[in-house]
Amino acid sequence: MPKKWLKSKHYANKWVTLGIRTSGIRLRFVNRLMKEGNVSEEFRKYYGQYKKIYNKVISEAKKSSNNMRLRTAVNKSGVMWDLIREELGNQKKIKKNFEINTGGVNTQDPKVIANVFNEYYTSIAQKILGGTSSVKNQEANVNAVRYNGNSMFLTPTTELEVAGIIKGLGNKKSPGIDDIPEYVVKKCYPKLTTALTYVINLSLVTGHFPDQLKIAKVKPLYKKGSKTDVANYRPISLISVF
């Protein structure tokens, strides 16, 4: 029986530094001494001050880490909700069945579900086109078209220009059909720039765009209503970063 795993984002407390871990160990040790009872008043004050400073350091570390996540996030509202859920302790992994109704029967077969979504999404365009008025095709005399002196001409790109564009990409981790996300391309741009520049210029010279880059990975995103109705899922197209 197929399962769908829903995972909440978990960052494993990246704000916890070696210094915070060391201070935490010392604080727990001092706390055990406090529970034994045979300590001086001066030691109690030391424990109180140490605990206060420790909590303040943790608060500042978490604040700094959260601010960094928000600054570098593409979907800032989504990350903000992730932070709220983490503070509330909603970190449970939920396992649930994924079903789609087809022909009046619910199915959990991944292949059947994929085919149902594929047939539904490919039929949407045909239904839309079927409702529009047809336009008669008219043959055009290409030779009768006058030369336009304001035509657009594309000049070859350079490695410097390609590198600048790559650096300006976002930090999305959702890859296209090639399973290569934006942040990986940004990290590897020194090794990719020369090859990409060659491919881009070759495409401009020949007038051909690589067929593999025309393919998108389509994922269904639930909107509202019954989760077994394929019409209640919006298609999200994930294209190659290239």
pLDDT tens string 135-184: 555 555 556 556 666 666 788 999 999 999 998 888 777 788 888 888 88
Burial category of 51 from C-beta neighbours within 10 Å (exposed 0-12, middle 13-18, buried 19 and up)? middle
Is residue 202 over pLDDT 90? yes
As a dihedral over the C-alpha atoms of residue 168, residue 170, residue 174, residue 175, rounded to 10 degrees, the angle is 0
**Shared-domain flag, residues 229 and 154:** yes
Last residue of a domain, one of 67, 95, 123: 95
**Shared-domain flag, residues 167 and 228:** yes
| Ranges 88-92, 125-129, 161-165, 204-208, most confident | 161-165
Is residue 60 over pLDDT 80? yes
**Shared-domain flag, residues 91 and 117:** no
Q: Which of 69-73, 106-110, 188-192 has the lowest mean pLDDT?
A: 69-73
Last residue of a domain, one of 65, 95, 125: 95
**Shared-domain flag, residues 87 and 171:** no
Tell me the pLDDT of the chain averaged across its residues: 80
Quote the domain boundaries for residue 79: 4-95
Q: Per residue in 93-135, pLDDT tens?
A: 555 677 888 888 888 888 998 888 888 888 887 777 766 555 5
**Shared-domain flag, residues 67 and 125:** no
In a domain, 106, yes or no: no
At a CB cut-off of 8 Å and minimum separation 6, what does 200 contact? 157, 162
**Shared-domain flag, residues 226 and 195:** yes
3-state secondary structure 97-143: CCCEEECCEEECCHHHHHHHHHHHHHHHHHHHHHCCCCCCCCCCCHH
Domain count, the chain: 2
Last residue of a domain, one of 95, 127, 154: 95
In a domain, 107, yes or no: no
**Shared-domain flag, residues 181 and 64:** no
**What does the pLDDT read at residue 196?**
92
In a domain, 138, yes or no: yes
In a domain, 65, yes or no: yes
